[in-house]
Amino acid sequence: MAPCCDVGMHVTVVGGGLTGALAALYLASRGYVVDVYEARADPRHAAPAAAASPSALRDAALRKAADASRRSINLALSTRGLRALGRVGLAERALEMAVPMHGRVIHDKRGKLRLQPYGAAAHEVLYSVSRVGMNIMLLDELEQRRNVRLHFGCKCVALREDGSATFEKAAGGVVEVEAGRLLGCDGAFSAVRALMGRVTRLSVSLEYIDSGYKELAMPAGKDGKHAMPPHGLHIWSSGELMLIALPNNDGSFTCTLFGPFRTLESVRTAEEVLRFFETHFPDAVGLMPDLTSDYINNPIGALSTVRCSPWNFNQMLLLGDAAHGVVPFYGQGMNCGFEDCIELDDALEATGHDWAAALPIFAAERKQATDALADLALDNYIEMRDKTVDRLFLLKCRVHAVLHALLGSSYWQPSLHTAVSFTTMPYHVARSVCERQDRILARAALVGAGLVASAALWVARRPSLR
């Protein structure tokens, strides 16, 4: 990435999580002077340094750090995220710490496993990565840059129209930041968004769904290897419940149970937990030695969608979950936040780094895409839970795959999942392309059925003509 002409322009980035850290890296690569303020402590102090420890130990520590932050432990990195990391030269390093997942592994009640590959192409793979691991990689990279300063334990408590801001330091005292460009990358419960709402008319909606989640551990087997086939995203579904497991590179899996709050809350004692799992996910029970204590001790996480408008005000901009938090069922939260960084970079390049021009362009284009993703992510809960075991749905998938193989990806997307996970077409375009394909298929099926019926009628009537 070439630095932009006005090297030395300053940007304040609020939030040093995944999106904030990558956004800062993009800006630093363009020559901006960047200050990153993160409310939490440096995650690298919670986990041992990358080079010093064996991966198993490190992963355990990373999981602990993630637990402390009450955010999900691992995430599925896909094409959009990899492309965004690639532009700052980090795709390879991300892949080194990832476990590739080639498809869904569906568990049935008898413990039988069925692999549904994500696609035939080499790039149609999801990568299970550790959230904290990714974050540390980005922060380590930021720390190499001379034009970046990282400030941990600094909470944004005031924001003015000119972009000047006040941060309260966990250690005591405040930091005052002068007027200027500011990115709010501080997540779904963004303080920047709330403070921007005091200086401009910011419409915001934060909507919880009735389901929550509980994270549970499945350690490596006695041989240190994964207790189940590692290269897939494991899914168990049972009525309103869904259990998924993503592989970690220390041989463990991180399992997440999704279900209605009232159901998850109704299971309380160790006995109830065991009975519950033996009923719904019998083959998982034996692989999770700490199941009962995990279940009893881990909190139930909530899942919400955040929508807001406008994302930009003067020289301030919301990015990532702060602008468009989504439920996790498409595995796109991180990928979408990373893609924001590319799109913003493109808008800045296209306008010669004129922020007043670039921010509205970026926000208008991008909001269409993320609004679509928000809907898709909500819909995909149903699809993951119910449709991966639905024969008609699977048949439709096969027909799409055949058409894709015959026509090529320029003319036919094998599935919405593929278009979302393995292409970089905007989410709303992916949705409309696939909706159009579905309509074509439905019409073709109707015409086909009509032809069959006509033929049958013709055959049936022939004797009467004799």
Least distance CB 205 / a copy of itself (angstroms): 3
- Smallest separation (angstroms) from a copy of itself to the CB of 200: 9
Q: Please give the Cα distance from 189 to 198 (Å, whole number).
A: 15
- Closest approach of Cβ 157 to a copy of itself, in Å? 13
Residue 326 or 344: the one with the smaller Cβ distance to a copy of itself is: 326
On whether the CB atoms of residues 203 and 50 are closer than 8 A, the answer is: no
Ordered DSSP codes for 386-450: HGGG-HHHHHHHHHHHHHHHHH-TTT--S-HHHHHHH--S-HHHHHHHHHHHHHHHHHHHHHHHH
Q: Where are the alpha helices (DSSP H) in 188-281?
A: 191-199, 261-266, 270-280
Tokens of residue 102, six digits? 């080639």
Nearer to a copy of itself, 200 or 279 (CB): 200
CB of 263 to a copy of itself, least distance (A): 15
Q: Which residue, chain included where needed, has tokens 């090297």? A: 7
Q: Looking at 35-43, 196-204, 213-221, 369-377, which segment touches a copy of itself (CB under 8 A)? A: 196-204
Query: Six-digit token pair at 127?
Result: 């990568």
Report the distance separating Cα 305 and Cα 207, nearest Å: 5
Q: What angle do CA 138, 142, 148 make, to 5 degrees?
A: 150
Q: Which of 206, 382, 452, 457 binds a copy of itself (CB under 8 A)?
A: 206
Pick the closer one to a copy of itself by CB: 100 or 301.
Answer: 301
**Binding flag, residue 205, a copy of itself (CB under 8 A):** yes
Of 123, 208, 407, 446, the one binding a copy of itself (CB under 8 A) is 208
**Among positions 203, 297, 410, 464, the unique one binding a copy of itself when judged by CB under 8 A:** 203
Residue 186: CB minimum distance to a copy of itself, A: 15
Asked if 230 and 236 touch (Cβ cutoff 8 Å), the reply is: no
- Does 356 engage in binding with a copy of itself (CB under 8 A)? no
> In whole angstroms, what is the distance from residue 460 CA to residue 440 CA?
30
Identify the residue among 153, 197, 260, 282 touching a copy of itself (CB under 8 A): 197
CA distance 285 to 291: 7
Nearer to a copy of itself, 187 or 426 (CB): 187
Report the site for a copy of itself in 286-325 (rule: CB under 8 A).
Answer: 302, 304
Q: Please, what is the minimum distance in Å from the beta carbon of residue 257 to a copy of itself?
A: 17
Q: How far is the CB of 212 from a copy of itself (least distance, A)?
A: 8
In the complex, least distance from residue 451 CB atom to a copy of itself, rounded to whole angstroms = 40
Cβ proximity to a copy of itself: between 143 and 207 the closer is 207
Using the contact rule CB under 8 A, the part of the chain among 10-18, 198-206, 396-404, 445-453 near a copy of itself is: 198-206
Of 211 and 254, which has the nearer Cβ to a copy of itself? 211
Please give the C-alpha separations between residue 174 and each of 157, 167, 323, 376, 449, in angstroms, as whole numbers.
9, 5, 26, 41, 71
Q: How far from 152 is each of 41, 169, 283, 338, CA to CA, in Å?
A: 5, 8, 43, 21
| CA gyration radius, the chain | 24
**Contact indicator for 252, 59 with CB cutoff of 8 Å:** yes
Q: How far is the CB of 316 from a copy of itself (least distance, A)?
A: 17
Q: Of 119-127, 132-140, 164-172, 205-213, which part binds a copy of itself (CB under 8 A)?
A: 205-213
Shortest reach from residue 39's CB to a copy of itself, in Å: 15
Of 95 and 202, which has the nearer Cβ to a copy of itself?
202
Q: List binders of a copy of itself among 249-268 (CB under 8 A).
A: 261
Instruction: Find the binder of a copy of itself among 143, 178, 207, 290 (CB under 8 A).
Output: 207
In the list 157, 204, 394, 399, the residue contacting a copy of itself (rule: CB under 8 A) is 204
**Shortest CA distance to 62 belongs to which of 133, 146, 129, 147?**
133
Burial of 205 (0-12, 13-18, 19+ CB in 10 A): exposed
Residues binding a copy of itself (CB under 8 A): 194, 197, 201-208, 261, 302, 304
